[in-house]
Chain A
Amino acid sequence: MALVHKLLNGTYILSKGLKPSVAACPFLSTRSADYCSSSLQKPVATPGKASTQRTSAGGLQGDQREVALDIPSPEEKPEVSFDKAIKDEIKEHFRRLKDEIVNHWIGPEGRPLQEIILEQARVVWQFRGKEDLDKWIVTSDKTIGGKSEVFLKMGKNNQSALLYGTLSSAAPQDGENSQSGYCAMISRIPRGAFERKKSYDWSQFNTLYLRVRGDGRPWMVNIREDTDIIQKNNQMYSYFMFTRGGPYWQEVKIPFSKFFFSNQGRIRDAQFQLLLDKISSIGFTLADKVDGPFFLEIDFIGVFADPAHTEEFAYENSPVLNPRLFK
């Protein structure tokens, strides 16, 4: 099932690459059949090439070479070969599966067992290159029609991530939303071979550690548990991260016991502790109703075990709000 899903994904990527010349698609498929019979070369087409092919019906091979010479930038050449893409995907996933099996043989997460057991501080996300940014998603209220903007890029020295943008709390005029104004950065759910969902196990740690530099705005840190239950999709655990502002880096330590439980953005009456054995993602939200530019630089995000912190959960339940819990 997962494989089928991925194959569909692959075709989607292919069609995305072809988007500028959708009209050329059927044209191209016939052409590729032609090629397969005549030569071993796989058809490679760019949007610009498609138009030339359409104009000149004969002399295909020569045309193709010329065009290939004409195009100076080889870095963005979308692959159109369907079979090759599928083969590559399958190979890639089997390679990942092999890695996983080998890593499992060595120990959990591919590291020796004693190292994992004795570990007291772990860096989970760091920002040292462009590829680290691919593990994150940025969203803003543009998805509901708002006007906020948010961007994520590497900092000037290429050693930290810079999240910046403009917050605007102008509500969209759609008759549905009366409030607006948020920007968020969410980590992608880790995926294993064949797009299996994976999760983080932080059960031996008790504190979240962030090294950030902000501009004095308060942020919200949201942690989601990994779950397959649809009703739990909107549930998350949140706490606040206050930035000092100024040119100095700041170390933020948030014990996991402080995270409170919310569903669909509303704090639940019945509070439960965040269970750390299956964490799917972490996110940062800015929604302080102050219009204007903002930025947040993140060096790295880690978890560590603070031996001085013994609190299990910071919020007691109230008998007024939850009489059933006290029966």
Chain B
Amino acid sequence: MSWAQAIMLARGLSRGWRGICGAALTGAPFSQVPSQVPRGLHCSVATHSSDSSLVPRPPEPLRQPAKPLSPHEELFRPAPDGARNKASFVRAVQNFGQHNVHKRGHVDFIYLALRKMRDYGVEKDLAVYNLLLDVFPKEVFRPRNVFQKIFVHYPRQQECGLAVLEQMENHGVMPNKETEFLLVQIFGRKSYPMLKFVRMKLWFSRFKNINPFPVPRDLPKDPVDLAMLGLRHIEPDLSARVTVYQQMASSKDSTGTADPTEQHIVGIQSPDQQAALARHNPARPLFVEGPFSLWLRDKCVYYHILRADLVPPEEREVEEIPEEWNLYYPIQLDLKYGRGGWDDYEFDIDEVEEGPVFAMCMAGAHDQATLAKWIQGLQETNPALAQIPVIFRLTGSTGELLASSSGLEEPSPPPPQEQEEEEDHTQRQQRGQS
């Protein structure tokens, strides 16, 4: 028998002996009925006492087991004023440092603080992350000799440091010099958090400014400002003019959603679109379509467009620009310098063509009454619009999103009858006004 087997046997024996002793000492005498019936997992106490087992009871609400409090949960108790902001978070972290001079349980505390950051709204604050890293004791986890460098020194602490950096990465927070200094002080240069830091520095700086359509980091809170920003964002023509047709009512009426005079309406139209609308054939109707969604970072706004169907090719008029009239392209050059006769950079495909868009708007409500006010406002700058019938093609719910494409090939489903009538009414009203 090898010594290992002997040890195993000895252990088993001692465990068995302890079990017997424990039963004899703590268990009740056999003659008495044990006070607590050992229950199986699936039977309840109530079935023994009452006839409730026969009556089908309504299923009990699934009781969540009371979540055990994390070790340092009391530091994050809501303050008396109930405010959860950066100041209270920083206070909690500092309290930990003051109460625990030896930094006992700091890893648990940092994991807890990382979970709490979103509640306090500080998940994108670099200073707070640096403060969290500052909780680590300095110079303790640095490898001192070559063997400590080879093997992961203090792995749990390094993982915790990695978790802090990972959360920074997920929220797009770029570490700075202070972070580097702290990491070097805590873990040393040859450590996994430091490696992660170098990677973050490298790749964040590479991808920081690659978005060709940048959106500001802090979006405006005011819906009118947000609508103006969104419209500027989706309109490629920089000379387009943003018009606020109707301001949001400041009074806080609860019925504000129904009243079209309460909502803000912001529209955008470029000079080219204005000219195209003036040339539009009045026999062809215009369509107000929407709402379509637009994401600005994590906010979703909805916009509507005023568009026409694609003009059939026989009605298209090619505009001839006399050469000497056009100041921007004085001579029409057909020569292609630097290109051989074989060069052909065109894709062999028919691109999807769609009808022209004449204007876009964002409004507080997506109903027809609000949008009719937008059309009325457009008429001031586009007198031709008064002669053109406008049909509202609104999808019912704003949450459901449909394709924003409407082509010539497939006619869209006819709008409901009442909407048409209403529309006629609106048109008449518009004509009457103009």
Binding site for B on A (CB under 8 A): 118, 120-123, 126, 155-160, 162, 164, 209, 211, 213, 215-218, 240, 242-249, 267, 269, 289-290, 292-295, 297, 299-300, 302, 304, 307, 315, 318, 320-321
| Complex contact A216–B233 (CB within 8 A) | yes
Contact A164 B342 (CB under 8 A): no
Q: How far is the CB of B364 from chain A (nearest CB, A)?
A: 19
User: How far does the Cβ of B70 sit from chain A's closest Cβ, in whole Å?
Assistant: 17
- A318 surroundings in chain B (CB, below 8 A): 198, 202
Residues of A within 8 Å of B348, CB to CB, are 121, 123
Q: Which residues of the other chain, A, contact B337 by a CB distance below 8 angstroms?
A: none
Residues of B in contact with A, size category: 35 or more
The distance in angstroms between the C-alpha atoms of A213 and B206, with both chains bound, is 26
Q: With A156-B407, A157-B352, A211-B351 known to touch, is A293 a contact of B293 (CB < 8 Å)?
A: yes
Binding site for A on B (CB under 8 A): 170, 195, 198-199, 202-203, 206-207, 210-213, 215, 230, 233-236, 292-298, 300, 303, 305, 307, 338, 342-349, 351-352, 354, 357, 360, 399-410, 412
- Complex contact A156–B410 (CB within 8 A): yes
Q: Which of A160, A162, A304 contacts B345 (CB 8 A)?
A: A304
The CA-CA distance from A164 to B298 in the complex, in Å, is 17
Q: Which residue of A lies closest to B409 (CB)?
A: A157
B206:A315 contact, CB within 8 angstroms:
yes
Of A120, A158, A245, A302, the contact of B295 (CB 8 Å cutoff) = A245
Q: List 18 A-B contacts (CB under 8 A).
A: A120-B345, A123-B348, A157-B408, A164-B401, A215-B294, A215-B295, A216-B296, A240-B210, A244-B233, A244-B236, A246-B233, A246-B360, A247-B234, A247-B305, A248-B236, A289-B170, A297-B405, A302-B347
Nearest CB of A to B357, in Å: 5
Nearest CB of chain A from residue B62's CB, rounded to whole Å: 13
- Nearest 8 pairs of A and B residues by beta carbon: A157-B407, A246-B234, A216-B295, A245-B294, A159-B352, A290-B298, A155-B405, A162-B403
Tell me, in angstroms, the Cα distance from A218 to B207 when the chains sit together.
13
Q: A156 to B342, Cβ gap below 8 A?
A: no
Partner of A155, one of B297, B347, B403: B403
| Set of chain B residues within 8 Å of A156, measured between Cβ atoms | 402-403, 405-407, 410, 412
Which B residues lie within 8 Å of A164 (CB)? 401, 403
Q: Are B233 and A158 in contact (CB under 8 A)?
A: no
Quick one: which of B215, B346, B405, B409 has the most chain A CB within 10 A? B405
Known: A156-B410, A215-B292, A247-B305. Is A242-B360 also a contact (CB below 8 A)? no
Q: Chain A: which residue is nearest B210 at the CB level?
A: A240
Instruction: Tell me the minimal C-beta distance from A7 to chain B in angstroms.
Output: 38
Cross-chain contact A217 with B410 (CB below 8 angstroms)? no
* Contacting pair B235 A246 (CB below 8 A): yes
Given contacts A240-B210, A244-B234, A247-B292, contact A321 B202 (CB under 8 A): yes
Q: Given A160-B405, A216-B295, A218-B211, does the pair A300, B234 have CB atoms closer than 8 Å?
A: no
Expressed in whole angstroms, the Cα–Cα distance for A267 and B203 within the complex equals: 9
| Closest Cβ neighbor of A239 among chain B residues | B210
Does B347 lie within 8 Å of A304, measured CB to CB? yes
